[in-house]
Copies of this chain bind each other. A is one copy, B any other.
């Protein structure tokens, strides 16, 4: 956990806020912490506040009516939940859920304060619209990827993204399949192929990246 008295300055897009506006944000906001693996929002559980993430990661994923799951995106420290929250407010009956992937620290901005800020501060408006825009373009890219990208390419990219400093991915085949919205067996076979090529080593519950260069090359293959 970090010092939280000046959290606004940790958001690149909010640094240009006027003094009074920044004060309003700091005063009318509560810092909340949630433990790992908590469902922050989900079907029938819409939050009162907009969250600005100070620390940790929130994974947003969707459970289909067919029982399939897919990870939509992640919110990292320095980003806001604005749009997800907005969606919840507008459309109760949607199926995405947000889960704290790590312990999470966030600033909770009440709706009324959020609305006031949007009204009074042009920089805040820019921040909010930029967040929406980024999310929507990311979703466009995701649709493109799901519809047209080969699975080996997608898996390679996801392994790189999920790997820690020591080139390890601590996850199961099942969880990887949810990352990409595919089936566990498909992941198992792809990983076997990667292993056969000497790109990775596997153990129960983890994947170790041995040849990052080769995997990067495959991941870049947008053909």
Complex contact B139–A62 (CB within 8 A):
no
Q: How far is the CA of A89 from the CA of B136 in the complex (A)?
A: 13
With CB as the reference atom, state the residue of chain B lying closest to A89.
Answer: B133
Cα A70 to Cα B120 with chains together (Å): 39
The answer to whether A120 and B122 touch across the interface, beta carbons within 8 angstroms, is no
Contact with B along A55-99 (1 / 0, CB 8 A): 000000010111010101000000000010011011100111000
Q: Classify chain A: how many residues form its interface, as a range.
A: 35 or more
Copies in the complex: 2
Beta-carbon contact of B136 and A70 below 8 Å:
no
Q: A86-B129, A129-B86, A148-B64 are in contact. Are A91 and B139 (CB under 8 A)?
A: no
| Interface membership of A134, Cβ < 8 A | yes
State whether the Cβ of A3 lies closer than 8 Å to any Cβ in chain B: no
A142 at the interface (CB under 8 A from B): yes
Beta-carbon contact of B94 and A148 below 8 Å: no
Known contacts: A86-B129, A132-B132, A148-B66. The answer to whether A72 contacts B137 by CB under 8 A is: no
What are 6 A-B contacts defined by CB distance under 8 Å?
A83-B136, A86-B129, A87-B133, A91-B137, A94-B141, A143-B146
B-binding residues in A (CB < 8 A): 62, 64-66, 68, 70, 72, 83, 86-87, 89-91, 94-96, 115, 118-120, 122, 125, 129-130, 132-137, 139-144, 146-149, 181, 222-223
